[in-house]
Amino acid sequence: MHYPEPISKLIDSFMKLPGIGPKTAARLAFHVLDMKEDTVLEFSKALVDAKRDLTFCSVCGHITDTDPCRICKDESRNRSMLCVVQEPKDVIAMEKMRDFNGLYHVLHGAISPMDGVGPEDINIPDLLKRLQDDTIQEVILATNPTIEGEATAMYISRLIKPSGIRTTRIAHGLPVGGDLEYADEVTLSKALEGRREL
Amino acid sequence: MHYPEPISKLIDSFMKLPGIGPKTAARLAFHVLDMKEDTVLEFSKALVDAKRDLTFCSVCGHITDTDPCRICKDESRNRSMLCVVQEPKDVIAMEKMRDFNGLYHVLHGAISPMDGVGPEDINIPDLLKRLQDDTIQEVILATNPTIEGEATAMYISRLIKPSGIRTTRIAHGLPVGGDLEYADEVTLSKALEGRREL
């Protein structure tokens, strides 16, 4: 036991966070000791509040402190477009962009037979229910460009196609500001495949 | 406002920690939402406890939940050796090594005229008081091998010399496992200067 107990407990707590090992945890814990008491109390309260007050929106599955969430309730949004993403974080990334004004559907995962995650383990049944009234005219599949994300997008598009709703996939290609030289082959091949006339 | 309020508050709290920017803070905050409620409550309590229950030992200045600290109270330790370090973290590093069985004195800083830190701004007066009874026979100066640390060590050694107490400085040289090729010139020059007969 090198540390007094209160600090070793705090280090243990920090170590439960992703990407934080024993050295970083110790550094953070010592920093907390140097912080003002008010700031520490605020931090402590923020942890509990975030855990207790946040739930998932019963409509779209996004993280929220009101149900339905602000996006689902917002009457000014385009209710004919539905963007399907894997995680609440993805909704936030989309919202930061400010270019999309439709609604979202969060799957909370992707189909991954290797990990035993099938279509019914993620939020797909709810998605199909949402598509039953005729409000939604386009479903944009914005799952990640990974094997699991692609498989999920393919699976959903096949389910939706028969209903006649337009189903699109976000484009894959070179990231803006990226360098052709450093792009991996798959990205480059996707970029070539998705080329458009100017 | 992209995030629901409870999570944006938590992100703000995480961003107050050193080395944590907005992206990492968001990742940590989302991780907290996935943690069990008990774990989050424990984390929240650990923060407050560490801040409230820890003080500095009135004898050596080390961080502690009892006063005097466990090291100062430990009768089995060698009370004739005193190791002077800059920060409580340094005591912990020394204790991890398990090779030193004496007492410590934490300066809480180093002399740095550039930052307006003089000898009376760090824990030097207390150090001199501790040296007045004749228990301590050797003072090991283990301040960091930086300009400030060196200056502090020099300053303290000059203060102590007249009293006849043995004053030593920890060795500087190549770190074990280090490569001569990659050592900086100053370290290499210190290593050469401190060479010993085999």
Determine the average pLDDT of the residues in A48-59. Answer: 91
CB burial of residue A140 (10 Å; 0-12, 13-18, 19+): buried
Task: Say whether B9 and A50 touch across the interface (CB within 8 A).
Answer: yes
- Measured between beta carbons, the chain A residues lying within 8 angstroms of B35 are 16, 51
- The domains of chain A, with CATH numbers, are 5-48 (1.10.8.420), 75-197 (3.40.1360.10)
Min Cα distance A161 → chain B (Å) is: 32
Min Cα distance B196 → chain A (Å) is: 32
A66 token code pair: 């009101």
Q: Are B63 and A7 in contact (CB under 8 A)?
A: yes
Distance CA B157, CA B168 (A): 8
> What 3-state class would DSSP assign to A55?
strand
CB burial of residue A84 (10 Å; 0-12, 13-18, 19+): buried
Task: Say whether B69 and A4 touch across the interface (CB within 8 A).
Answer: yes
Min Cα distance A56 → chain B (Å) is: 11
Q: Are A169 and A141 in contact (CB under 8 A)?
A: yes
Task: Say whether B51 and A28 touch across the interface (CB within 8 A).
Answer: no
Distance CA A32, CA A3 (A): 15
Distance CA B23, CA A86 (A): 18
> What 3-state class would DSSP assign to B7?
helix
pLDDT tens digits for A20-51? 999 999 999 999 988 999 999 999 999 999 99
Q: Is the dihedral of CA B32, B35, B41, B47 positive or negative?
A: negative
What is the ipTM score, two decimals?
0.75
A197 token code pair: 């006339």
Chain A interface mutation, best of B3, B37, B51, highest count of A Cβ atoms under 10 Å: B51
pLDDT tens digits for A67-126? 899 999 999 999 999 999 999 988 988 888 888 899 999 999 999 989 999 988 998 999
Which residues of B, range 39-98, sit inside 8 Å of A by Cβ?
A: 39-54, 63-66, 69-70, 88-89, 92, 95-96
Q: Are A35 and B13 in contact (CB under 8 A)?
A: no
